[in-house]
Structure 1
Amino acid sequence: MSRNGNRISSLDGLRGLAAGIVLLHHVSLIAQPWIDPAGWALLTQSPVKLLLAGSEAVMVFFVLSGLVVALPARQAGFSWARYYPARVFRLYVPVIAALGAAALLVVAIPRDPSTMPEGSWMQDAQATSVSAGEVLTQMTLLRPAYPIDNVLWSLRWELFFSLLLPVFLWVALRVRRFAVPVAVLTVALIFLGRTTGDAALAYLPVFLLGTLIAVRLADLRVRAERPRVRRALPWLAVLAGGMLIASWLARPLTAGTVAADLLWAIAAAGAALLVVLAVVWPRARRALDTRTMQWLGRISFSLYLVHAPILASLCYLLGAEQWWLACLIGVPLSLGIAAVFHTLVEQPAQVLARRAGGIGAALADRIEVRAIRAARRRALARAS
């Protein structure tokens, strides 16, 4: 497997693929009001939906985070004092920069929602004005809605998972022998969250699926080498794709029913299976290790953060009826700006994160040394 240190490169490729799908998903939402119902059904209720499955791609992100954030925590020498400040800087610096840039676009380009199709993503999900208070509160990642840069809703759950990583890891390690039934129970919790409207219950357990993969990764690799399992891997890939979009494929029969919520929860299991295949299936690894996929993976976080405000701004700038031109320009423009954002913001944020982690670890070491010295002084005082 191609690696960069302890990094699994195929997972970078999968992250890039997921980011590209989210971009295409938002393009499809812009186009939706202009597509007849039969055409929209063809796009969303067929295997073509795999290319437009934005919400499901976010589930892939969540499983990936559960895996790649938990893996280093299991290694010798891991420091929580280093992890927390580094993780906070790694998340917040790009988010603050992207949200600030998105706010400037809202100010610079007038937005009249009445010019957009009724009930569309452009009318309902985009900020039409900003204030300093709105920007500051959305920067916290503690709000349920983010109209200035609406993809930030998922970063809220990334933040919560990052803070709760010790709990997720503790649970995964305690139940690792029963990973499969626990994964089934996890999907049931996601289903319960979906049916009750509890967003925390609908999304946070998805991260647990990734953490379960992290604690069983070595076993999964060994099992994937068995001839019978190796022959089944292509079929498992088909199964994973079907699970990921099952709620869409079955929509004509299940729309508005509990079955739709169940299939939506099963998409999380499909996302987990895709992540496993990206690690253990040689054909998937080769595809995800290509130069294009690795480049997308490298800029994936930046692409995720910047593309929605760019697409929305172009639509308002060019006008609703020129939606196709906004998308035609917006896709390559989003990729280009994401590459620049990665260089100018995300990479410096990674450097700051490492420095913050180093400072946190050094402070923890000093506190530990002082505690040991104080304990020794107390012991000597008692002895005398």
Structure 2
Amino acid sequence: MADKIAGTGKIYGDREADRIGCLDGLRGLASLWVLVGHGLLLSGWRIPLADSPDFGVDLFIMISGFLMVFHYVQRRAREPWQAPSTWTAFWLRRFFRIAPLYYAALAVAIAVGPWLGDARVDIASVAPGSMTSMERYTDQSLQNILLHLSFVFGALPDYGFRTALPDWSIGLEMQYYLALPFLMLVIGRIGWPAGALAVAAAGILLFSLRPAFFATYEMPSVLVLKLHVFLAGMLCAAAVGRSWRVVLGYALLAALLAALPIGGRTAPVALAARMVIAFGMFGLIHHAVLGGVLARPLSRAAALLGSRPFHLLGEASYGIYLSHLLVMLPAVAFVANTLGAPTPAPARFALAMAITMPAVAAVTWLAYVTIEMPGRALGRRLLASPLLRHQAPAC
């Protein structure tokens, strides 16, 4: 299956027999898109698309949809989709991949939230349009903490965007993990195109029944608002090993789903950007099957994104995403107080990034070594324990 896709193969000691290398680079680029986009917004410098970190999150969402299905299918022989033990193993893997670093970042965000709020006020004095609710920084209540520890916060309009972290997407991701086994059962019964359309239709129906309610979410932190974007990535994985006609059909369906005007910005340029992201991912992964004049440049791009530097960037992407605002907010506030509003926004952005990037790199590396990798190892040990030894060991 995987030998029909460019950029696959066992890389740098990964435990999976097959891996799509270019996705490492895409994850890394998505994290940089979010980081740079926030830096531009906080500095008041407008660069179309680059200053839109939500598109980086959409790319993350599509990649997540792809990877979950890709590995779910790989493990199907030893972990049947209909077996509850499969669901347990899947949820444990994802929990120990996401939760350890998130809990550490959450503790820092809650503890220093008021200080970050003061930094946010300083930033707003120079870039007024960048301000968000101060409750994100000042709410240190037990209720807020427990809702975030349980990952329930994303489903609640008042709590989906209530810490200094960009963690609304983490809660969203956990909702997707919870739903995935059931989505795969539906798709396994009626097939991919019909299944994807049925799931998307269910999401659209739920949204259409309560549009005013879903409009109360400050960010699209509930699954209904981003399910169609996950489905775009899932279809990309479902196209693995298929003919070029099927790949092209799935790509068109994925692009149409990604462009549904639900969740986030719905201006034509935003919908077109999501379509381009979906088509781009299909092109990088399936270019060998699709062929055409773009096959060679896409092959080179896929190989580059699967190279060791981009692999390392992909491994760091989660840490970059979680930690960057904790570093960036005080950095941009320092620049705002030092240079002031008369300094052009590009100069403020450049200095803020010169401070932020090395610090984020150091924090990410330290967190990866001391929290992320030990957290994954703990998950693997748990799955290999006598109680759960029949589950797959990878985490």
Q: What pairs with 1:305-324 in structure 2 (closer than 5 Å)?
A: 305-317=322-334, 319-320=336-337, 322=339, 323-324=348-349
Deviations 1:238-269 (A, max 9, x none): xx8xx99999xxxxxxxxxx994565455444
Cα contact 2:200–2:227 (8 A) shared by 1: no
Structure with more helix by fraction? 1
Instruction: Check 1:348–1:218 CA distance in 2 against 1; reply closer, same or farther (3 A cut).
Output: same
State the Cα distance separating 1:188 from its structure 2 match.
Answer: 9.0
Unaligned runs of 5+ in 2: 1-6, 11-16, 80-85, 154-158, 215-219, 288-298, 340-347
Instruction: Check 1:302–1:311 CA distance in 2 against 1; reply closer, same or farther (3 A cut).
Output: same
1:145 aligned counterpart, secondary structure? coil
2:163 aligned counterpart, secondary structure? coil
State the Cα distance separating 1:302 from its structure 2 match.
Answer: 0.7
Within the candidate set 13, 23, 28, 2:35 is matched to: 23
- Across the aligned residues of Structure 1 and Structure 2, the Cα RMSD in angstroms comes to 3.9
State the Cα distance separating 1:356 from its structure 2 match.
Answer: 2.7
* Amino acid aligned to 2:21: S
Indicate yes or no: 2:171 matched with 1:156. yes
> % of aligned pairs identical?
21
136-145 vs 81-90, which moves further: 136-145
* Amino acid aligned to 1:67: F
2:124 aligned counterpart, secondary structure? coil
Match of 1:135 in 2: 145
Q: For the residues of structure 2 that align with 1:152 and 1:185, how far apart are their CA atoms? A: 24
Cα contact 2:331–2:356 (8 A) shared by 1: yes
Q: For the residues of structure 2 that align with 1:245 and 1:215, how far apart are their CA atoms? A: 19
* Amino acid aligned to 1:23: L
1:313 aligned counterpart, secondary structure? helix
State the Cα distance separating 1:164 from its structure 2 match.
Answer: 0.9
323-332 vs 81-90, which moves further: 323-332
State the Cα distance separating 1:7 from its structure 2 match.
Answer: 1.9
Cα contact 1:10–1:289 (8 A) shared by 2: yes
Q: For the residues of structure 1 that align with 2:265 and 2:59, how far apart are their CA atoms? A: 21
* Amino acid aligned to 1:203: K
Unaligned runs of 5+ in 1: 230-235, 248-257, 366-384
Match of 2:183 in 1: 168
Instruction: Check 1:124–1:259 CA distance in 2 against 1; reply closer, same or farther (3 A cut).
Output: closer
2:118 aligned counterpart, secondary structure? coil
Bigger radius of gyration, 1 or 2? Answer: 1
Instruction: Check 1:316–1:73 CA distance in 2 against 1; reply closer, same or farther (3 A cut).
Output: same
Count of residues in correspondence between the two structures? 330
Instruction: Check 1:259–1:335 CA distance in 2 against 1; reply closer, same or farther (3 A cut).
Output: closer
Within the candidate set 184, 194, 203, 2:226 is matched to: 203
* Amino acid aligned to 1:90: R
Match of 1:103 in 2: 110
Match of 1:67 in 2: 66
State the Cα distance separating 1:157 from its structure 2 match.
Answer: 1.0
Match of 1:362 in 2: 388
Within the candidate set 18, 29, 34, 1:6 is matched to: 18
Q: For the residues of structure 2 that align with 1:330 and 1:210, how far apart are their CA atoms? A: 31
Indicate yes or no: 2:204 matched with 1:189. yes
Instruction: Check 1:188–1:274 CA distance in 2 against 1; reply closer, same or farther (3 A cut).
Output: farther
Q: For the residues of structure 2 that align with 1:264 and 1:73, how far apart are their CA atoms? A: 31
Cα contact 1:110–1:316 (8 A) shared by 2: no
